[in-house]
Every structure is written in C-alpha cells, then in structure tokens.
Amino acid sequence: MQLRKTIKSLLLSIPYLLLSFILVISIIAPILEYQRLEVSRNLYEITHKICNQLPTRCLFIFTSPMALCARCFFIYLAMLVVGILMIVFKKVFFSWKVGLLLMIPCIIDGSTQYLGQRLSNNALRSVTGALAGVGAGVIIFPLYFKFVDFITRKRG
C-alpha cells in the first residue's frame, strides 16, 4: 500500500516538474547569455523544440530574449499555476467547453498573425497565452489525475 502511494506521488509530480523545468530554463538562459556563458546556447536549443523563440516575440531579461516567446511562457506558467491550485484547494475542475473557450483568443491571435492579417504584440501574446494555459490546464490536469488513479489503483 505504501509503495502504491509513493508511486502515485511520483507520477503526480511529473507534470509539475516538467513545467517548472521548462520555465526555469526559459528564465535562466538569457541570464547566462547576458554573462556570455556558452551553456546558454544549450538551454536555448532545448526550448527551441517547443517554441519558435523569435526575438521580436520574446520578453527580455537584461538584454537577452527569454528562451520561450511571451505566448509560450505564459501558457506554461498558467498551466503550472492551474495544476498547483488544483492540488492546494483539492478541487479538480474539468470542462472541455471552458478549456476550449479559453484557448480561442490564443488561436485567433496566433493564426491571424501567422497568416499576416495583423501584427500582435507581447502584451496580447502574454494575455492570450495565459488564457490558453488555463484552458489547457483545466483539460489536461484532471485527465492526468484520472490516468494516475487508474494505473495506481489496486486491482483484483
């Protein structure tokens, strides 16, 4: 029984650790780049797999762009906050409708910018990213919690 609880706790910590790792890398990379440390390039390469990192779309720390664009940074940050709030308040809120509704502004902002219909700015990217992160969080975390419950429950 104790082993099952330990495994469940470890599994539940994975998304929090992953999101925290991504956010920390995003913040540390420009600090290291500002100090002209070569390791910063490795951190930018890690996050380049999940973000375009266009400097015009990034927030800056000192004189260097963060390793995630404003939209991606706030998506990951909002997802982490939603997950933490679900644990702290022991309330799991799940709604496809609310989650998708919160993602619509980000989809509109990103797609109209991509199609060249208009230019966005970092303030708008940050707000729509945060909304999308909350939307993704209210869908992903409850499903992940159910998945962990399913694979760690006692059978037989």
Residue 156 has pLDDT above 70, yes or no: no
pLDDT of res. 57? 94
Q: What pTM, to 2 d.p., does this model score?
A: 0.92
Helix (H) or strand (E) holding 75, with range, is: helix 70-88
57 and 74 Cβ atoms separated by less than 8 Å: no
Judge whether residue 84 has pLDDT over 80. yes
Residue of 1 and 79 predicted with greater confidence: 79
Backbone phi and psi for residue 69, each to the nearest 5 degrees, phi listed first: -70, 165
Segment 43-53, tens digit of pLDDT: 999 999 999 99
What's the domain count of the chain? 1
Question: Domain limits at 79?
Answer: 2-152
CA distance 130 to 152: 32
